[in-house]
Amino acid sequence: MELIHSVREAQARSDALRAAGRRLALVPTMGCLHAGHLSLVDEARRRADAVWLSIFVNPTQFGPGEDFERYPRTLDADLACCRTAGVDAVFLPAVEELYPEGSETWVEVGELTRPLCGRDRPGHFRGVTTVVTKLLLATRPTLAVFGEKDFQQLAVVRRLARDLPLGVEILGAPIVREDDGLALSSRNALLDPETRREARVLSRALDAAERAVAAGERRTAALLQAVTLELGKAPRGRIDYAELRDPERLAPSAERIPGPTLLALAVVFSADSGPVRLIDNRVLTPHPSAEDRPCS
């Protein structure tokens, strides 16, 4: 497994792969790898001849008072995971490599970045879209794989790739969960045992909404009431948002969900190490009811 530290070297190696007719897949990460990341590597391996993984804790997507300094960094363990998973190369740029002194260029996506995580985290998605653009330009992959747990991020990156001629296919991979339903996240490492138990309310809230939809509930208000009731069972949790939105445009749902609808959650937990913000989501798919079927 190769370690690549510079943009120039990454571009040269990627160009050589393309010249040889080989497809390159990139899995962008911020490290602290877990089984969810490795599932992205597996998906990349199915789609490409060579798989690269990048590890870069991007400072520009963290706002003041957020957990940039506390974000878990486990490089030695991450590299061991990459070797075991058969990653061909790891791109490990320094901050100065991606943000040279005097950098003042940003890449922004519009409306998709405003709701949900973008509403209370000003500048977050500007940091995400800028660093993703830099990583894609540095590695020049045929495709890049992102997890569906960060649903809004995936939607934003897809829009970025459609709007700019980067020549990269963006793939989403399903959420990987612990046995108790908690979505795998690098931030889970910051949870103490009690808060870790409470964090299960996220998946239970998604389950409650899915059961309600399966039973015929379509009213947005009723579904969100069931969700907030479940989330309220975590004394250490504070709801950041619990919203139903169109999965493509991320526009708010109508009074009744008309079809597949994204349920997006964000909860801030008070852990011993400090506040830990976890996100989760599920696309709820109602079955057509009699009133929805066209008359024959």
Q: Could you list the active site residues?
A: 37
User: Is residue 27 within 8 Å of residue 172, measured between CB atoms?
Assistant: no
CA–CA dist 150, 106 (Å, integer)? 21
CA–CA dist 132, 22 (Å, integer)? 22
| Other beta carbons less than 10 A from residue 241's beta carbon | 14
CA–CA dist 200, 223 (Å, integer)? 19
CA–CA dist 24, 225 (Å, integer)? 45
Burial of 126 (C-beta count, 10 Å sphere; 0-12/13-18/19+): middle
CA–CA dist 176, 153 (Å, integer)? 17
